[in-house]
Structure 1
Amino acid sequence: MKHHKYLIVGGGMTADSALHGIRQVDPNGTIAMICEELHSPYDRPPLTKSLWKGAAFESIWRSQHDMNVAVHIGKKIVTLDPTKKIAIDNVGNIYTYEKLLLATGGSVRRLPYLDENVIYFRTVDDYQKLRELCEQGSDFVVIGGGFIGSEIAAALAMNNKHVTMIFPAKSIGARIYPQALSEYLNSYYREKGVTLHAGDTVKTIRKEGSKISVMTENGMEITADGIIAGLGIQPNIDLARQAGLAIDNGIVVDECLRTSHPDIYAAGDVANFYSPLLEKRIRVEHEDNANVMGKIAGENMAGQSNPYHYQPYFYSDLFDLGYEAIGELDASLDIVADWKEPFHKGVIYYLQNKQVRGVLLWNTWGQIEAATQLIAEKAEHTQETLSGRISD
């Protein structure tokens, strides 16, 4: 049995940020990090972004230098007893703790049938597997038109691969971008050499020699060297549920990131928290949230009482286009587009009851603070009042 003052369940960006948060407050308390992946913590965004643009692979690794932490690689906590403060991993090791953090992240959504020929893109191992395929093959199918699908399709196309995208919506990012922008992305991707099968889904996948054959519901057959699926994630809540913690679209936490048990905290993709800016509970699956929330969770585990009132932003890169965004991006909201250059530079405002709920800064940089303040004002707005309101 191993006792640690702090036990971190998870080994991703949130867990690493929590480690640094603890150490800022408590330089000496013993810490153990239980990491299911066979790697120490690393940054995920480069896996679909900068690593395909020439960034060094070594640049993804996060540092635990002088942190004095016991990192248990390739282990998974499978049993948690909050009353006895005992956690047991998948090989029977027992850990006791004073404070515990659940930074368990999420698991990829999969196609209805399991298929070993599909890379459900999320981890560094997935990236390396795809890189190996790229050394041999030139034809790739990307399933999904959301964040991961659109980014990895662009990354592959920029590396001179022939890419076919398959997704059920009519256009790329249809759930978050206004219709005109989403439809423009279809034509933009086609200009970049990407073949689109919009409004379609995968029916079957089978191996044919060294190639993979994909049949769609609409009767299209595509031959590929590799298939990548970006279908989103589901929060890993099984351990929290087994421990009797409050669950609701993730693990429910208070403003100091405590779960329904006062000595257990949760942060990152898995945490359901209250956003003062949006005045509702949300769960956020992005880097900024992992970094800031993880750090505050660590500080609070070590004795601080810092409320998480922060509203995380998110970003994406799509060929030569890119954006930062904050708040609610939902194509079903009322939308005001303020373009400097249509579809290439501008600001998109998402309104509900005439109040701004979200801001998409399309190729417009350094304006997250201004966008946050605009949402916080809770003022009524029109096309006229928002024209030129934010620009870089």
Structure 2
Amino acid sequence: MSDYSEYRYLIVGGGMVADSAARGIRELDAEGTIGIVAQEETPPVARPALSKKLWTDASFSFDDAWLDTEADTGATRHAGERAVSIDREDRVVRTENGLVLRYEQLLLATGGTPNALDLPEDERVVYYRSVEDYRRLRRLAGDHRLIAVIGGSFIGTELAAALVQNDTEAILIFPEPVLGGSVFPADLAHRFEGLYREAGVEHVPAARLEQGEAGEDGLELRLTNGDRVRCDAVVVGVGVTPNIGLAERAGLETGDGVLVDDRLRTSDDRIFAAGDIASYPDAILGRRRIEHVDNAVEMGHQAGRNLAGADEPYDHTPYFYSVVFGNRYEAVGTLDSSLETVEAWSEDREQGIVFYLDGARVAGVLLWNLSGRREEARRAIAEADAGDRDALKTRIPLRDAEED
């Protein structure tokens, strides 16, 4: 039957986790068949490029973003297919279009769905996540059009910076009184916001979208602060909801995500989970679910190896990063401005470290324009005495090092 296939390894999800998992499998098994069920029509791509380099680096082309998963690993990708059920007894995944896919080992990497707002279904409204979203926003941008960016998250701030650097007027709508105020210490948040003001990004702080309407000549947004914003297009970056429905229907244990052990194995020994959906026991941070690219790549790689029999723990504590207006910041752990902080800055304030303290422990570390210090940040969270503020300030040197 043309709609039936068997695979030694089946991956549900077509993003960066799938790519890194396929590569992890191939490190141990050069011949085992790999199938990928991908709701996206487009193949796996280096997703950070969609909001960073493709907008800001003229030397970086779209061809540089493709991951070439099928060519490099021999995986078979079933594009445009959404998995709807898992028969754990017969080890079968069925898709919405009627494909029946049998597996020996299964990896769930279903990612997340962007959170929706009260906006019309319209070509000019983009919930930003995929290659097609990038292409559509590119078509909408330029020619000094005005695009409203809703959300002051990592993706929202990156997109506002990207747009204003590409012949586009940008207005950034965010719920905090100061941009970045929920994650950065007050002084840094004001500096961060200043980068956007200097670049010409209009700000609407302390506001959320109430409702949006579309007309022939643009969109009108009604905000909770009473403002009305008219714009040519809207791009939304207000977080995602993990796609755990497939796992729930299969009877796997879930909570804030699909629960896995340190081998990334679910409550079914033949089924693993990785990426945005996986709630895993981090060796330093404790159980959590992380939606950033470093976690997707490293967790996917380890899941692939374990699918192929490695039986190794996932002992990597991920970091996350953003790049805006030439400033790169990286972080490990929790960034929450309500926590007490200890800061160390270079004399010119161009490089800095912020330790976020939760009682007697370091809960998170922010590295501002400081490369090669992630491993030291991890060790600070695992080992440092938060009570010794002076020692914290000098724990991580204020100079670049080799990347860890």
In the alignment, the residues of structure 2 paired with residue 82 and residue 378 of structure 1 have an alpha-carbon distance, to the nearest angstrom, of: 44
Shift of 1:114: 4.7
| CA contact 2:120–2:213 (8 Å) conserved in 1 | no
Kindly indicate whether residue 28 of structure 2 is the aligned counterpart of residue 25 of structure 1: yes
From 73, 77, 83, the equivalent of 2:79 is: 73
Moved more, 197-206 or 26-35: 197-206
Report 1:1-392 matches (<5 A).
1-53=4-56, 54=58, 55-64=60-69, 65-116=71-122, 117-136=124-143, 138-278=145-285, 280-341=286-347, 344-390=350-396, 391-392=398-399
In the alignment, the residues of structure 2 paired with residue 375 and residue 45 of structure 1 have an alpha-carbon distance, to the nearest angstrom, of: 26
- Structure 2 SS opposite 1:316: strand
In the alignment, the residues of structure 2 paired with residue 253 and residue 378 of structure 1 have an alpha-carbon distance, to the nearest angstrom, of: 28
Which string of whole-angstrom CA distances, capped at 9 and with x for unpartnered residues, describes residues 122-159 of structure 1? 11111100100114552110000011111100111112
- Structure 1 SS opposite 2:132: helix
In the alignment, the residues of structure 1 paired with residue 349 and residue 308 of structure 2 have an alpha-carbon distance, to the nearest angstrom, of: 47
C-alpha distance 342-242 of structure 1, shift in aligned 2 (>3 A): farther
Which amino acid in structure 2 is aligned with residue 2 of structure 1? Answer: S
Which string of whole-angstrom CA distances, capped at 9 and with x for unpartnered residues, describes residues 324-363 of structure 1? 1111212222111112157632101011123212110011
Moved more, 330-339 or 84-93: 330-339
In the alignment, the residues of structure 2 paired with residue 335 and residue 175 of structure 1 have an alpha-carbon distance, to the nearest angstrom, of: 13
In the alignment, the residues of structure 2 paired with residue 113 and residue 158 of structure 1 have an alpha-carbon distance, to the nearest angstrom, of: 26
Shift of 1:387: 2.0
In the alignment, the residues of structure 2 paired with residue 378 and residue 362 of structure 1 have an alpha-carbon distance, to the nearest angstrom, of: 20
In the alignment, the residues of structure 2 paired with residue 86 and residue 74 of structure 1 have an alpha-carbon distance, to the nearest angstrom, of: 18
Which amino acid in structure 2 is aligned with residue 63 of structure 1? Answer: D
- Structure 1 SS opposite 2:73: coil
In the alignment, the residues of structure 2 paired with residue 360 and residue 281 of structure 1 have an alpha-carbon distance, to the nearest angstrom, of: 20
Which string of whole-angstrom CA distances, capped at 9 and with x for unpartnered residues, describes residues 144-176 of structure 1? 001111110011111232111111111222322
Which string of whole-angstrom CA distances, capped at 9 and with x for unpartnered residues, describes residues 77-110 of structure 1? 1111111111101111101111000000101011
| CA contact 2:259–2:280 (8 Å) conserved in 1 | yes
Which amino acid in structure 2 is aligned with residue 229 of structure 1? Answer: V
In the alignment, the residues of structure 2 paired with residue 135 and residue 346 of structure 1 have an alpha-carbon distance, to the nearest angstrom, of: 34
* Structure 2, unpaired ranges of 5+: 400-404
Paired residues in the alignment total 391
Shift of 1:73: 0.7
Moved more, 310-319 or 218-227: 218-227
Moved more, 98-107 or 136-145: 136-145
Which amino acid in structure 2 is aligned with residue 39 of structure 1? Answer: T
In the alignment, the residues of structure 2 paired with residue 45 and residue 204 of structure 1 have an alpha-carbon distance, to the nearest angstrom, of: 29
| CA contact 2:94–2:100 (8 Å) conserved in 1 | yes
* Structure 1, unpaired ranges of 5+: none
In the alignment, the residues of structure 2 paired with residue 160 and residue 66 of structure 1 have an alpha-carbon distance, to the nearest angstrom, of: 37
Which string of whole-angstrom CA distances, capped at 9 and with x for unpartnered residues, describes residues 8-51 of structure 1? 00010001100001111111111110110011111110111000
- Structure 2 SS opposite 1:164: strand
Aligned to 2:402: none
Shift of 1:376: 1.7
- Structure 2 SS opposite 1:17: helix
In the alignment, the residues of structure 1 paired with residue 127 and residue 349 of structure 2 have an alpha-carbon distance, to the nearest angstrom, of: 30
- Structure 2 SS opposite 1:294: helix
In percent, how many aligned pairs have the same letter?
A: 40
Which string of whole-angstrom CA distances, capped at 9 and with x for unpartnered residues, describes residues 56-80 of structure 1? 0111100232422111111111111
- Structure 2 SS opposite 1:370: helix
| CA contact 2:260–2:272 (8 Å) conserved in 1 | yes
TM (normalized to structure 2)?
0.93
| CA contact 1:171–1:185 (8 Å) conserved in 2 | no
| CA contact 2:143–2:168 (8 Å) conserved in 1 | no
